[in-house]
Every structure is written in structure tokens, then in C-alpha cells.
Amino acid sequence: MNRHHIAARVAGLTQSEIRAMTRACNAVGGINMGQGVCDVPAELLIKEAAKTAIDSDISLYTRFDGEERLRRALAHKFTNYNKVNYNFENEICVTLGASGAFACALTALLNAGDEILMFEPFYGYHWNTAYIAGLNPVPIPLAPPDFAFDVELIRSRITPKTRAILVNTPGNPSGKVFSRAELETIAAICIEFDLLCLTDEVYEYLTFDTEHVSMASLPGMRERTVTMGSYSKTFSITGWRIGYAAASEPLARAIGMVNDLYYNCAPAPLQRAVAVGIETYGPEFYTDLAKTYRKKRDIFCELLTEIGLDPIVPKGAYYVLADNRRLGAANAKDAAMKLLHESGVAAIAGSAFYTGETGEGLLRFCVAKSDEDLARACDQLRNWGNKH
Ligand SMILES: Cc1ncc(COP(=O)(O)O)c(C=O)c1O
């Protein structure tokens, strides 16, 4: 390979730790609790809706920002669940997952060299996507176990180049759910320093005994916030690639323009199927979903405590960060490899989510597994715990 043929902004990147761990896990036939793939089957209703859409020849490009039925369904969801009104006609753009929403928003709204604040631990894709968009991500440490932030530290990291702050609530990998008061504090900073707020809410329905608050619903924030989400996690359809960005009209227009240029539109029949899902499911579908994941979280956190890999019990999303020191490894990657080889269960090294040392003491497990796989993983880890 001639390195001169690779763009400088990409040459410095390695493919995500998460994918590398998946390969290592497959090589030993292990149980993959590393990748954030929810491997429970998609709902029958949605699958049938997708088949019907294909059979009805919904196979052409939709409007660049998504088919009307899905945009209307999303606007309705925003009003009822997120408590913020977006006009389906010009303030919602259907994208290729929340990942597509983020990439388009960065390209549409920020300039190369701009700084974007990101709470740490962060989702690696956020960090690296910002990097390849030519931005400089700046970490704001969240202190475990409750992942509180220091408002003075945020202020101290703001420079004349700072243009935006990213909020991910509920957060991956921390499971942090930002409280209303915390969001109000961040909102006040955004207003004071005239920052954009990009908010990734893909786990919006997965909170445990805590309300989900959308930044855009706070006073003064709708005009400077881009709300990003998707149905990857909610409907267990990570491979369908249906997500969205919602923002005030000028921002949404710019995001839509980039989405159009890069992708034309999201997959047409799958947009329709997601619209049918949103129209059909009542609130109990989403509360049941949270209950299901809460149960998985509780089972797994109990097991981690039992085997001495102490968990930081998450308030939302479907990941658990755990203390890896009991493995006695030199760093988090070695700890993850050791655990995989000794127990047959794959986790992700905590270092994938931090710029500094903090992540070296952590592992991240994804509990979005079927009950059978989760039980098998618990058995294997319990056996490991008994032997080591
Ligand atoms: C915080 C966060 N945002 C976005 C994504 C990707 O979502 P999508 O499939 O909608 O692109 C993930 C997936 O793990 C995630 O954890």
C-alpha cells in the first residue's frame, strides 16, 4: 500500500477497537458482549411492513430528507415524547442512522479547524467522525461513578475556536442519563458562548427510573440544537440504517443538503416500515423495552459484582462499564483479551472510550443479548470467576 494514496485525516486512524474485538471473538467462537449490536430479532410487525413495502414497489429514491409518512410520524413522536415541536415539512431529515445524522450535521454546520466539546468517556465513532470531518474534538471528563461534570472545567476548555458541544444521553459507554438540571447548566453555557448543541439520543427509550430529557425542549435551545436519533436500537434494526436529525429550519436545510449529496436518501422501503412501527406502537412498547433491558442490566451487574469485576451500574442505554483490575493485566486491551481467552466472553477495552489513562482500568460489556446468550455468558463468567 502506498501511504501517499491515503488522506492524512484517515491515515492516522485505526479501525475501531470494537470491530477488532469482534474478529478476535469470532476466531475463538466466544460470546460477543463487545459490539453494541442488539441481536434480539426485529419485531414481526416491522419485518412484515418492510416486506409489504418492497412488494408494493416502494423502491425509488424518496425525497432527500425522507418520505412524508416517516417525517410526520417522527414529528408526532417529538411532540409527544421529547416535548419539542419540529415541522415535518422542513425541520426533520431522515438519515442513514444516527451515524449518518452526525456526519451530515458536522459537515453541514461546522468548519475544518473548529473545536467540538465531547464528554469523556465518549462513543469512539463520535470522536473519530469529528476528526475526519476536520474538527478538533476536545474531551470534558465525566467523573465515575455518577459521571458528574465540572462546569468550570467546561468553561476552561472553551476557546475562540469552540463551536459546538456534543451531548449523548443516555450515554454510550457510561449509561449516564443527563438530568434536567445538568442539561440546563450545559444549555446556559451554549447560550453564553453561542455554541451549537448536537445531541445523540439513540437510547432515548432506555432509561431506568430516570426521565429522558431532550436538550431541544429546554428554553432557548431549540434554535441551536440538532437532535439526532434512530430506530437501530429501539426496533432492533441496526443494519437497516434508519435515523434522523431534527433542527430548526436553517440548520435542517443545511443538513438535508449534505444528506442529499452524500446519500440521496435513506432506504425507501425501510423508511416506510419504520413509519408503520412508530404509528402502531403505543407507549407500553417503549416502557416494556426499558423493562427488558433493565432486567438484563440487573442480571449482568449482579454477576459482575459476584466475580469481582465491579460494575458502574448504568442509568440508561445497554452497556456496563466494569473495573478490570481483578484480571491483573497491564492495560485494558490485555484485560479484554485475557478475559476472552479464559472465559470465552468478549468485552471492549475501556481505553477505546478515553483519551487518557482512566479507560485502562475498565471494560465495557453490551447487555443487548438474547436471554439465552446472556445466561450463557453469565455461566461462563461465573466459571471463570470460580477458577481465577
Ligand atoms: C451513542 C451512539 N450513537 C449512535 C450509534 C449508532 O447508531 P445508528 O445505528 O443509528 O447509526 C450508536 C451505536 O452503537 C451509539 O452507541
DSSP annotation string for 254-306 = HHHHHHHHHHSSS-HHHHHHHHHHHHH--HHHHHHHHHHHHHHHHHHHHHHHH
pLDDT at residue number 2: 64
How far apart are the C-alpha atoms of 282 and 144, rounded to whole Å? 35
pLDDT at residue number 118: 98
pLDDT at residue number 145: 86
**Residues 55 and 14 reside in one and the same domain:** no
- Which domain-ending residue is among 280, 312, 327? 280
Domain count, the chain: 2
Domain CATH code at residue 227: 3.40.640.10
Distance of CA 353 from the midpoint of ligand 1 (Å): 14
pLDDT at residue number 11: 84
Its pTM surpasses 0.85: yes
Give me the phi and psi of 148, to 5 degrees please.
Answer: -75, 155
Asked whether 238 lines ligand 1 (CB < 6 A), one says: yes
pLDDT at residue number 257: 98
Q: Sheet harboring 136-141: ordered strands across?
A: 92-95, 243-246, 225-230, 196-200, 162-168, 115-120, 136-141
pLDDT mean for each 10 residues of the chain (388 residues) = 79 78 92 82 94 98 98 98 98 98 98 98 95 96 92 98 98 98 98 98 97 98 98 94 98 98 98 98 96 97 98 97 97 96 96 93 95 96 95
Mutate to test the pocket of ligand 1, among 94, 122, 123 (most ligand atoms within 8 A of CB): 123
Q: In 10 A of CB 60, how many CB atoms? A: 7
H helix or E strand, kind and range, residue 333: helix 332-343
**Residues 148 and 273 reside in one and the same domain:** yes
- Which domain-ending residue is among 246, 280, 314? 280
Mutate to test the pocket of ligand 1, among 125, 271, 364 (most ligand atoms within 8 A of CB): 125
**Residues 93 and 213 reside in one and the same domain:** yes
Which is the closest atom of ligand 1 to the Cα of 230?
10
Helix (H, G, I), strand (E, B) or coil at 349: strand
**Residues 178, 169: contact at Cβ < 8 Å?**
yes
How far apart are the C-alpha atoms of 334 and 338, rounded to whole Å? 6
The domain of 169 spans 44-280
**Residues 273 and 339 reside in one and the same domain:** no
pLDDT at residue number 342: 97
**Residues 378, 299: contact at Cβ < 8 Å?**
yes
Asked whether 230 lines ligand 1 (CB < 6 A), one says: yes
How far apart are the C-alpha atoms of 275 and 71, rounded to whole Å? 8
**Residues 228 and 131 reside in one and the same domain:** yes
- Which domain-ending residue is among 257, 280, 303? 280
Domain CATH code at residue 291: 3.90.1150.10
**Residues 211 and 267 reside in one and the same domain:** yes
